[in-house]
Amino acid sequence: MATRFRAACVQMRGTRSPEDNADSAEALIRHAAALGAVYVQTPEMTNLIDRGARSIVTAAATEAEDATLRRLRAVAADLRIHLHIGSLAIRVPDGVANRAYVVGPDGAILARYDKIHMFDVDLPGGESWRESRLYRAGDRAVAVDLPWGRLGVSICYDLRFPQLYRALARAGAAMLAVPAAFTRQTGAAHWHALLRARAIETGSFVVAAAQGGLHEDGRETFGHSLVVDPWGTIVAEADGDEPGVIVADIDLTASAEARRRIPALAHDRAFAPPEMPVVEVAS
């Protein structure tokens, strides 16, 4: 099995318009393919960036009806590439899912993944997010076999939960995908460190396409799409938050070599949690 291929990250600045976002995504995907990429990843929320819960619910379509998904599947088939749609807001029976799609070169859907960890945080300066009020959380890790090796799928805030990536790596994933819409505040503080940590901990390539810049709904995202190798070295990075494409030549045998050097995945040991002290309450 060939292990070498060219990967690309598409960096976007999404809007409230699914049609405009699809136009932007298609143009950048085609540019990536023209640069020789055979695996192309778009960011989280490729079809819609909007802080308004009501407008998201109104705009979200079912998988069968989503125009962005239909269009990008056709693009993948036309270009004969593996296209990883970082995520779409998709209507499901019990709400809206933040769902990733991996599409094959014939346009078929190879894998679906619903974001597990919801971004419910209160940040300095009054920035507050409650994804769980809108999105139905997933409950299943997903890995998919590509022609070059196994890919572990995740989305954005999942990045802060290393147990997910360890499970994906132990299931054979040599490349981990982290399409994201990291806020500027959290991205500036943690984006590079967390992506490099996940690569180092698991001995995996990490590919992370990002949203970037000031969006129509007022949010600011960090950009800096990255590709990190299994030793933690950044091998490709977008220059700031402007829309564009980065490419990296990947050889997944480097994952096996990193895991041979430091076989941490084989060194896991079960352990008991710390005992909590008993606090006596005075009567």
Whether residue 89 contacts residue 72, with contact meaning beta carbons closer than 8 Å, is answered with no
List 9, 19, 26, 44, catalytic entry:
44
Q: Which residues pair with 97 in a beta bridge?
A: 90
SS3 content of the chain, % helix, strand, coil (to 5): 30, 30, 35
In whole angstroms, how far apart are CA 160 and each of 119, 163, 182, 273? 10, 9, 12, 20
Count of other CB atoms within 10 angstroms of residue 218: 7
Determine how β-strand 109-114 pairs with β-strand 82-92.
unpaired
| Amino acid letter, 191 | W
List 9, 19, 63, 115, catalytic entry:
115
List 26, 63, 131, 156, catalytic entry:
156
The terminus-to-terminus CA distance of the chain in angstroms comes to 70
The residue assigned the tokens 């809206």 is: 96
From the list 14, 23, 52, the residue with the least C-alpha distance to 210 is 14
Count Cβ atoms within 10 A of the Cβ of residue 53 and give its class: 0-12 exposed, 13-18 middle, 19 or more buried. middle
Strand, helix or coil for residue 156: helix
In whole angstroms, how far apart are CA 254 and each of 112, 122, 204, 249? 27, 39, 8, 12
Residues 74-93, buried b or exposed e (16+ Cβ, 10 A)?
ebbbebebbbbbbbbbbbee
Our answer to whether residue 44 is catalytic in this structure is yes
Our answer to whether residue 237 is catalytic in this structure is no
What are the residue numbers of the active site? 44, 115, 156
